[in-house]
Chain A
């Protein structure tokens, strides 16, 4: 193991490979900022380049750089423009965007960069030590457990609705779940709820919905409510630095979420999105009362949690890829394709047959994360300046960005009509004070929830899997607790307040 590690190190630290990782990080960051071009498509674009390099280690290092860069770039558009380009960064916008609006864009990006770095590096460390053992963990979950995990994810909505109107949040979640059923699902031969429209055949696309729910209403809000835009467009990028007190606050969050996120990432059917939602929900639930109030309004913990978890999960998803040859996400599926094209077959024998490749991948994760941090920290003030653009220019820019994002994935002009239609509905809902995030979460989780549920029903000829599989039951109990505990705490706090009032 030590010898392989040293080989990997010497491979990774050649001049050529360092240039690769720097180029990869830069390309990834800048392309990743464009919504619609997530890590998956950027890696796909870079693969021909990587293959012409020929040397598998160098190619993988380049792609790893692109991967991490793209994840960070995605967070950037989430935080600055409320335009999450991939599902994994949706949760980052919950608190990241309010921070940016408060004039703390620089700080938000710094926290995102540090949290990503920590999540990725701790994840890589766990991967290095536990990868061979974890291959069995990756196979522990059956469809029944994935179903239960999605329920846990949904119950986390209680956390998002915390301060607002719970009824409205539940309504929006249900709407999201309903929207997830449109189109040809994985389990049914026939399209559902498409109203005969061919363009709805494959359902609503995530990116269109995310733009319609988040970015478009924001842009319209800026037009309709000039006061609001004036507040954000002050252009001052103050407070770039994180104070010692803030550091102390987010350190435990980063520690917990690195580990939790990593283990969720190890499961081939879960991934970065679930990890980021659960990370956000868990941190909110265990935060103190005062801190809970802050969540959703620009809490640094609320930004650090999903950012750490989603990066740790991305690293975790390499466990099934490298040890079993199973891609757990679209991105790792693309990477698998690249590895096979380079004549490297991931699987249990990779570590034995080609240890230098295995270690090069792991070392490249460290370097990728580190280079990203070094490159991006000085760039943050310039990136954050996007918000200093006068609104006459910024609004068309956001609109262009949004439209392009939803068009680029599918090359389908109908997406634009859907985007605008939904964007208008979302703006109306926003005015009526309905939270839009639960809708998107319901939509993202809905498909997986349904697929895993009906698969389990089929396998067990009924609902029996809930009792037959103790892990499923355990996860469902956790889901119930996630809903019950916050409301119980709220009620107790209320009762105590009343008690105090009486005591006076």
Chain B
């Protein structure tokens, strides 16, 4: 149904749907106020990120007050359009976004892309993972590839996003890096992470492409085995999960979340926002919010953010062309 959101989004949002109380002058205030523009409805992943970040920033006294505005529509395109059209009056606004801004501007869901905005900072992220059910005969990527070679059509990989969406792209990326043809991978989409997980455990699909933090919760509960993570090195949160790289599959992927400003944001304002965010990482308030949501700190500020986004756009764009989505 249209109103069931992904489980991942809920986990992030559920814990952080709180109003940040204004805390005044702690002596180290960097910005007076920030207005967060959230391109999705209340309770989604973007909502949780913006409110959690606002809570930490005001709680730590780095920002005086934070306000929030939900503007859903057009897969996030409505908020992007609004920020661009009203750029001059939106210097106090930060919009939250994530990997889909890259994917959706490539597919033309909305006419703009991240270059039309001022890049403030990427703040957090999550790796992707391939998982199998606990009773599955598959124990590693090489087992999965062997099963795929034996019966490509019977080795379906599921995910919680549309074809051409993030979970699909990760699965395709991994199979390409393993020397298989991504076009032959049977990807089965589900409209929510929970339903995809049920399908995995019921044996409808052979493997599931999902977010790492979500996979960890189920792996710890003994429900699934994580057969590959898209990080450079093993992640501390669950050290038993092998990386794709160590299994000879040279690919990495980060689903980032970060903040954007209106085009033409004055340099001094931009520097202020970036300073506030940079300082935020050292505060106990941020650590509390981060730990509660299971986020991974992946900080890319300004030009680094741009380099990162351009690289991701290139990788995703090439893959989508190959898959026939562009």
Contacts and interface: CB of A to CB of B under 8 A. Distances in A.
Interface in B65-121: 69-75, 77-78, 81, 107, 109-110
A202 to B, nearest CB: 7
B131 interface: no
Interface in B205-225: 205, 217-218, 220-223
B182 interface: no
A142 B199 contact: yes
B248 interface: no
B208 to A, nearest CB: 12
B17 A47 contact: yes
A333 B199 contact: no
A336 B11 contact: yes
A269 B71 contact: no
Nearest to A146: B195
Interface stretch (A233-241, A248-256, A318-326): A318-326
Contacts of A201: 73-75, 77, 109
A272 to B, nearest CB: 11
Given A45-B17, A191-B109, A320 B202 contact: no
A268 B71 contact: no
A409 interface: yes
Given A189-B164, A414-B73, A337 B11 contact: yes
A411 B41 contact: yes
- Candidate in A187, A189, A269 with the most chain B CB atoms within 10 angstroms: A189
B107 A189 contact: yes
Interface in A363-422: 409-412, 414
Given A201-B75, A201-B77, A47 B70 contact: no
B238 interface: no
A338 B14 contact: yes
Given A47-B15, A48-B18, A189 B165 contact: yes
A188 B72 contact: no
Interface string B143-161: 0000000000100100000
B325 interface: yes
Contacts of A486: none
Interface string A58-93: 000000000000000000000000000001000000
A48 B17 contact: yes
A431 to B, nearest CB: 29
Contacts, number: 189
Contact of A345 (B3, B15, B73, B217): B217
A270 to B, nearest CB: 11
Contact of B3 (A142, A188, A205, A332): A205
A41 B3 CA distance: 11
A44 B13 contact: yes
Interface in A173-194: 183-191
B250 interface: no
Interface residues on A, range: 35 or more
Select the residue from A45, A183, A329, A341 with max chain B CB neighbours within 10 A. Answer: A341
A444 B198 contact: no
Contacts of A199: 73-74, 78
Nearest to A180: B2
Contact of B191 (A186, A191, A273): A186
Contacts of B75: 184, 201-202
Contacts of B205: 459
B227 interface: no
A136 to B, nearest CB: 9
Contacts of A202: 2, 72-73, 75
A348 to B, nearest CB: 6
Interface in A325-344: 325-330, 332-334, 336-338, 340-341
23 contacts: A44-B42, A87-B1, A184-B162, A186-B190, A188-B162, A198-B73, A198-B78, A199-B73, A201-B73, A201-B77, A205-B2, A326-B198, A327-B7, A333-B192, A336-B14, A340-B11, A340-B217, A348-B223, A350-B221, A412-B72, A412-B73, A459-B188, A459-B205
Given A44-B42, A47-B17, 13 more contacts: A47-B14, A189-B107, A198-B81, A203-B2, A325-B197, A326-B201, A337-B12, A340-B294, A409-B41, A410-B41, A411-B70, A411-B71, A414-B73
Interface of B: 1-5, 7, 10-15, 17-18, 41-43, 69-75, 77-78, 81, 107, 109-110, 153, 156, 162-165, 186, 188-192, 194-195, 197-199, 201-205, 217-218, 220-223, 292, 294, 325
Interface of A: 40-41, 44-45, 47-48, 51, 87, 138-143, 183-191, 198-199, 201-207, 268-269, 273, 320, 324-330, 332-334, 336-338, 340-341, 345-350, 409-412, 414, 444, 447-448, 451, 455, 458-459, 461
Report, nearest first, the 4 A-B pairs whose CB atoms are least far apart: A337-B14, A347-B221, A198-B74, A186-B191
